[in-house]
Copies of this chain bind each other. A is one copy, B any other.
Amino acid sequence: MTYCVGLFLDEGLVLLSDTRTNAGVDHISTFSKMHVEEVPGERMLAMLSSGNLAISQAVWNRLQEGVWLDSERHTLRDVPTMFRAAQLVGAAVRAVFDADGPSLRAQGIGFDVALLLGGQIAGQPHRLYMVYAAGNFVEATADTSFLQIGEHKYGKPILDRAVTPGISLADGVKLALISMDGTLRSNLTVGMPLDLLVVRAGTQRVALRKRITEDEPYFRLVREGWERALRDAYAAMSVPDWV
C-alpha cells in the first residue's frame, strides 16, 4: 500500500509520499512514488501515485513519451493549463487500462491506481488534483484543502482538524509529517523514507525537494515531539467523575 498527501495552501503546495511497495508481506521494496516535471519559472508539475506499481509506472512513462488527448499528442511539458494536465494524466490512465486491463482481469487483479497531480503553470493559479482509476478527477478547493491517496484513514483526523488554506508552507510540512507519522506507526505497508516536495505559489519551480530518512533530525523531532505531546495531552485531560 502507500500513503500520499497533498496540501493545497494559499502559499503553495506541500506534497509528501512514502516509498514502500509490497506484493504480499514478504515482498516489500522501496520505490519513489513522486515524479516531477519542471521547466523552472514556466511550469512545475508533480505526480504522486498509489496502487499497483506497474500501473503507476506505466502511466508516468506514457506521460514522458506523449499521450493522445483530443487528437493531439501531449506531454506534461506542453499542456497549456493544469486542467489539461489533469486530463492528460487521466488519458494516460485510460491508455494503460486499455492496454493492460484485460490481462490484469484475466489474472483476477483489479485495476488499482490513484494519483495526485499538483503544480502550477506561469500566469495561472496553482492547483491540486486527485485522478482516479477511471481517469476522471477531482480538485482540491479552499473548502477541503488537502487530498490523500492510499492508506488515508490513520492520518486524516489531524488534517481534518488543522489544515486550512491559510496555514504557512512550513506548517503544512509539519502537518503532513504528523499525518504520515501516525500512518507509518499503524500500517506496515507504509514505510520510510519519505519524499517531500514544496512548491511556492507563483514561482513555477521546486522550492524544496527532500528525501527524508529515519535519521532526518526534523522528522525525529516531529515523531518524538508529537508522541510526547499526545501523551502529555492525554495525561493532562481530566478523567470522568462517573468511572
Q: Which A residues lie at the B interface, using CB under 8 A?
A: 151, 153-158, 160-162, 168-171, 173-175, 178, 182-183, 185-187, 198, 207-208, 210, 218, 221-222, 225-227, 229-234, 236-243
Contacts and interface: CB of A to CB of B under 8 A. Distances in A.
Q: Is the interface of A mostly helix, strand, loop or mixed?
A: helix
Interface centre among A170, A187, A240 (most CB of B within 10 A): A240
21 contacts: A153-B153, A155-B157, A156-B186, A157-B183, A157-B185, A161-B227, A161-B230, A161-B231, A162-B230, A162-B234, A169-B243, A170-B240, A174-B237, A198-B243, A208-B242, A218-B242, A225-B233, A229-B229, A230-B233, A232-B233, A233-B233
A227 B169 CA distance: 22
Contacts of A153: 151, 153-154, 186-187
Given A186-B157, A221-B238, A234-B175, A170 B243 contact: yes
